[in-house]
Structure 1
């Protein structure tokens, strides 16, 4: 029987690559997206079930939960990966952006974990993976709201690990410089690499391998694993 996974923010970068990898392993992927369906359309052609929801609207999260419950009674893995990234200047001038940072990174994962708990409990090895950030431990002064929201998700990881045990395991991954954005110039890339002890752009495969490690080790819960080439040592 195919295992079921919900990946939020599945249309690009890590979410997209993880979805493809799990499809290769035989998973039925529920691929969440917000505004851009480009990557999700490719996943849909491979058998993924696309689900649109604006995580800035809690009611949309609840609707997504109900859609999933109509399609399956078991969920083996939930990967809270959806993200939005605003600096101080943006959230200071736009309260909607400030609200979005906390809705996407904290409110939506909370609603998904609690709303899908009954489906996760039907799995033999249920796992929640929250994608946080290395800056949850040492926040960037330029992205205070973002870091605060990710820190909330990191704290919820431990809280849910306590309350959902022993049935459901909850862990987190803290990515570092895994994949630069197209708008990152050479100066930015060189600066980041100079601060990263392993001095390499990690790519997405180490993140995928960490998800598999968390899935396949049944004695891990409440953990937060840094996948950052050591950069957190220098921030």
Structure 2
């Protein structure tokens, strides 16, 4: 009797960490449902490797509910939900745009809430797990990104709440990334400053986060936990 193919849903799978997580899970034989908003090129590459792509703007809760319905149709059993999608707006952007403010809380807190709540039957059926990507700033917020930090802190609290609610059938954990991959627009001086403020003085890359995902996914006795993957940066902020 053949083993059932495991299924994973990754939000924000079209670029950077979400894309790398999608590739890693595809290489392990998962059926990957790759959500994306606008990064179609990266998702197309995942689809070429066997993923199923679903488009939705997580800032629009109507679209979030439509995404959930599509996932329910595709996956009667969901082994892994990774809430990875993110948007990063500073104080000035959210102060001048209600759309940006709404997006910060919808993408980081409201959409993950709906996904975890409404996909509970599929996760329970698979005895699956949830991994939420939060941030090292949930405990020591950056005053230049107040809304972002608050929204990520909300997701950290949802991790604890759903870990309690869904046990013992479903485990829920979080990863707090630090300086894993600089953006192209980050200047050399900024990069040097961040690395100088990071005890291990390294740009971590994506592989350490993938390793943390595997640890939380595969260890059956961890739930309600949050792991920092930050080179020690949280010690100094």
TM range (shorter): over 0.9
Identify the residue that residue 5 of structure 2 maps to in structure 1. 2
TM-score by length of 2: 0.98
Partner of 2:126, secondary structure, is: coil
Partner of 1:140, secondary structure, is: coil
Residue 90 of structure 1 and its aligned partner are, at CA, apart by 0.4
Residue 36 of structure 1 and its aligned partner are, at CA, apart by 2.0
Residue 50 of structure 1 and its aligned partner are, at CA, apart by 0.1
**Counterpart selection for 1:15 from 6, 11, 18:** 18
**Counterpart selection for 1:187 from 171, 175, 189:** 189
Task: Could you list the structure 1 runs, at least 4 aligned residues long, displaced by more than 2 angstroms after superposition.
Answer: none
Q: Does residue 129 of the first structure (1) align with residue 120 of the second (2)?
A: no
Tell me the alpha carbon deviations over residues 46-87 of structure 1, each in whole angstroms, 9 at most, x when there is no partner: 110000000011110110111111112000000000000000
TM-score by length of 1: 0.99
**Stretches of structure 1 lacking an aligned partner (at least 5 in a row):** none
Tell me the alpha carbon deviations over residues 13-49 of structure 1, each in whole angstroms, 9 at most, x when there is no partner: 1100110011000000000000121100000001100
Identify the residue that residue 110 of structure 1 maps to in structure 2. 113
Partner of 2:39, secondary structure, is: coil
**Counterpart selection for 1:57 from 44, 55, 60:** 60
Residue 209 of structure 1 and its aligned partner are, at CA, apart by 0.3
Q: Does residue 76 of the first structure (1) align with residue 92 of the second (2)?
A: no
**Counterpart selection for 1:161 from 151, 160, 163:** 163
Residue 194 of structure 1 and its aligned partner are, at CA, apart by 0.4
RMSD: 0.6
